[in-house]
C-alpha cells in the first residue's frame, strides 16, 4: 500500500461513499422575532435536524437567517422546509427568490412551510404557495388565535404514520386560503375551534372577524399536503408558535414524517422515531 493514495483512487473512493447516496433535506430557520419560547426557529430547526440525522440515509442541512448566503445549497436538496416569520417580510418573496424556488419546484423538490412561513401576501406570492403547497395564510381571510386543538382521529397517510390522536395548544392558524374546491389538498390535521376561539380575542389583528364567527361549528384544516403535477410534494403546518410543542411526540412525529415524505423517502410503518429531552428543548434558543 503506497503511503499516499493516488488521486484517482481517492476520487473513486469518494464517489462510492455512502454520503453520495444520502437524501439531503434543507431546513431553513428565520431570524429571531418573538419573546423567548415563541418562534424559536433556530432551536426548532436544529431540533428537527437532530432527529432527522438519526434516520439512515437522511442528511439534514440547517440554514439560518431565513435564506442561504449561497442558494446553491438547495441544488441537490430533495426537500426544503421553511420555518420563519412570513407576511410581507417573508424571506422567500424577496428579490428573485420566488424564481429560485420555481426552478427547484420545476425539478420536483419537496417544499414544506411551518407556522408563520405559511403566510405570504395575496397576489403572486400567494398564488405560488397555492401552486407549490396548496394553501397559504391570507391576511384578513385567515386567522391566528391561540387555542387548544384536539385531533380526535388521523387520516391514513404516510405523514400520519405512528401519530396518535392528540390535543395541544398552539397558535393554530385556520381558515387558510386553499386552492379552489380544495383541489389536490389532503387534510392531515383537522380540528374544530370553539365559538370562543372564533371570537379571535388572541388573534392579531384582534377579532372578531364576521366570516370566522359565522363559520361556527366547522372543522378546520391545520396541516395538509399536496402532490404536484411536476412530481414534487408540498406540506403546510400552521402550528409551531410554542417551542415546547416540539417536545410532544405526536406533534413532532408528524413534521418529521412530512420531511421524509416531501423528500420522497418511505416513512417507516410507525413513523420517524425520535426522542427529545427537556435538555434538548433548551438547546439553541435565541438570546433573550
Ligand atoms: Zn406565532
pLDDT of residue 230: 80
| Ligand 1 centroid distance, CA of 132 (Å) | 22
Cα(102) to centroid(ligand 1), Å: 26
Tell me which H or E stretch contains 150.
Answer: strand 147-151
Say how many Å lie between the CA of residue 82 and the centre of ligand 1: 14
Distance CA 283, CA 146 (A): 25
C-alpha 7 – ligand 1 centre gap (Å): 52
In our burial notation (b when 16+ CB lie closer than 10 A, e otherwise), range 108-133 reads ebbbbbbbbbbbbbeeebbebbbbbb
Measured in Å, residue 149 CA sits from the centre of ligand 1 at: 15
For 2-38, the pLDDT digits (tens) are 444 444 444 444 444 444 589 999 999 999 999 999 9
Q: How far is CA 197 from CA 166, 190, 209, 240, 269, in A?
A: 18, 15, 11, 18, 35
C-beta of residue 25 within 8 angstroms of C-beta of residue 81: yes
Distance 39 CA to ligand 1 centre (A): 6
Higher pLDDT: 2 or 215? It is 215
DSSP-assigned beta bridge partners for residue 170:
147
- Could you report the per-residue pLDDT of 241-270, keeping only the tens digit for each? 999 999 999 999 999 999 999 999 999 999
What does the pLDDT read at residue 75?
A: 93
φ and ψ at 80, to 5 degrees? -130, 135
Ligand 1 centroid vs 6 CA: distance in angstroms?
55
9 C-alpha to center of ligand 1: Å?
A: 52
Q: Give the Å distance between the CA of 201 and the centre of ligand 1.
A: 15
Q: What is the pTM of this model?
A: 0.92
Summarize pLDDT for 134-185 with one digit per residue, the tens. Answer: 999 999 999 999 999 999 999 999 999 999 999 999 999 999 999 999 999 9
If you average pLDDT over residues 72-92, what whole number do you get? 97
pLDDT of residue 267: 98
Q: What does the pLDDT read at residue 17?
A: 42
- How far, in Å, is the centroid of ligand 1 from the Cα of 106? 30
pLDDT above 90 for 84: yes
How far apart are the CA of 220 and the centre of ligand 1, in A? 18
- pLDDT, residue 233, reads 98
Q: What pLDDT does residue 3 have?
A: 47
pLDDT at 194 over 50: yes
Q: Measured between alpha carbons, how far is 52 from 265 in angstroms, rounded to an integer?
A: 12
Q: Which of 255, 176, 240 is nearest to 212 (CA)?
A: 176
Whole-angstrom Cα Rg for the chain: 19
Q: 260, 273 in Cβ contact below 8 A?
A: no
How far, in Å, from the CA of 99 to the mean position of ligand 1? 27
Find the mean pLDDT for residues 68-81.
Answer: 97
β-pair type (110-114, 233-237)? parallel
Domains of the chain: 21-276 (3.40.50.880)
In the reported structure, the alpha carbon of residue 119 is separated from the centroid of ligand 1 by a whole-number distance in angstroms of 11
Considering the chain, what is the average pLDDT of its residues?
93
Say how many Å lie between the CA of residue 84 and the centre of ligand 1. 9
Whole-number Å distance, alpha carbon 145 to ligand 1 midpoint, is 9
Give the pLDDT mean for 82-111: 97
Whether the per-residue pLDDT at 72 is higher than 70: the answer is yes
What pLDDT, on a 0 to 100 scale, did the predictor assign at position 21? 83
The alpha carbon of 12 and the centre of ligand 1 are apart by a number of angstroms equal to 48
Distance from the CA of 113 to the center of ligand 1, in angstroms? 13
Percent of the chain with pLDDT over 70: 93
pLDDT at position 20: 54
pLDDT at residue 140, as a whole number: 95
What is the pLDDT averaged over residues 183-203? 97
All residues with CB under 5 Å from ion ligand 1: 171, 241
Ligand 1 centre to CA of 173 (Å) is: 9
Q: What is the pLDDT of residue 214?
A: 97
Q: Where does the pLDDT of residue 229 fall: very low under 50, low under 70, confident under 90, or very high at 90 and above?
A: confident
pLDDT at position 77 over 70: yes
Place of cell 404557495: 129
Q: Coil, strand or helix: which one is 103?
A: helix
Q: How far is the CA of 24 from the centre of ligand 1 (A)?
A: 27
| pLDDT at 98 > cutoff 90 | yes
Amino acid at each position: 500500500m503506497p503511503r499516499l493514495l493516488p488521486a484517482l483512487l481517492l476520487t473513486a473512493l469518494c464517489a462510492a461513499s455512502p454520503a453520495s447516496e444520502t437524501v439531503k433535506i434543507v431546513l431553513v430557520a428565520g431570524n429571531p422575532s418573538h419573546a423567548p419560547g415563541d418562534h424559536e426557529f433556530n432551536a426548532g430547526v436544529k431540533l428537527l435536524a437532530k432527529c432527522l440525522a438519526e434516520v439512515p440515509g437522511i442528511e439534514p442541512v440547517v440554514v439560518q437567517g431565513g435564506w442561504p448566503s449561497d442558494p446553491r445549497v438547495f441544488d441537490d436538496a430533495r426537500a426544503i422546509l421553511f420555518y420563519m416569520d412570513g407576511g410581507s417580510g417573508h424571506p422567500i418573496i424577496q428579490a428573485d427568490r420566488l424564481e429560485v424556488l420555481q426552478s427547484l419546484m420545476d425539478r420536483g423538490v419537496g417544499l414544506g412551510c411551518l407556522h408563520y412561513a405559511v403566510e405570504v401576501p395575496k397576489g403572486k406570492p400567494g398564488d405560488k404557495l397555492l401552486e407549490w403547497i396548496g394553501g397559504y395564510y391570507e391576511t384578513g381571510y385567515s386567522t391566528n388565535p391561540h387555542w387548544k386543538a384536539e385531533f380526535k382521529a388521523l387520516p391514513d397517510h404516510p405523514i400520519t404514520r405512528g401519530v396518535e390522536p392528540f390535543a395541544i395548544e398552539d397558535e393554530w392558524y385556520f381558515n387558510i386560503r386553499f386552492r379552489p374546491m380544495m383541489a389536490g389538498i389532503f387534510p392531515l390535521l383537522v380540528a374544530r375551534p370553539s365559538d370562543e376561539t372564533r371570537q379571535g380575542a388572541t388573534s392579531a389583528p384582534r377579532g372578531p372577524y364576521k366570516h370566522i364567527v359565522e363559520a361556527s361549528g366547522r372543522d378546520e384544516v391545520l396541516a395538509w399536503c399536496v402532490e404536484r403535477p411536476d412530481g414534487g410534494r408540498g406540506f403546510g403546518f400552521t402550528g409551531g408558535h410554542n417551542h415546547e410543542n416540539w417536545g410532544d411526540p405526536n406533534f413532532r412525529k408528524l413534521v418529521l414524517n412530512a420531511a421524509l415524505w416531501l423528500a420522497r423517502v418511505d416513512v417507516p410503518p410507525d413513523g420517524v422515531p425520535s426522542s427529545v429531552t427537556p435538555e434538548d428543548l433548551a438547546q439553541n434558543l435565541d438570546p433573550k
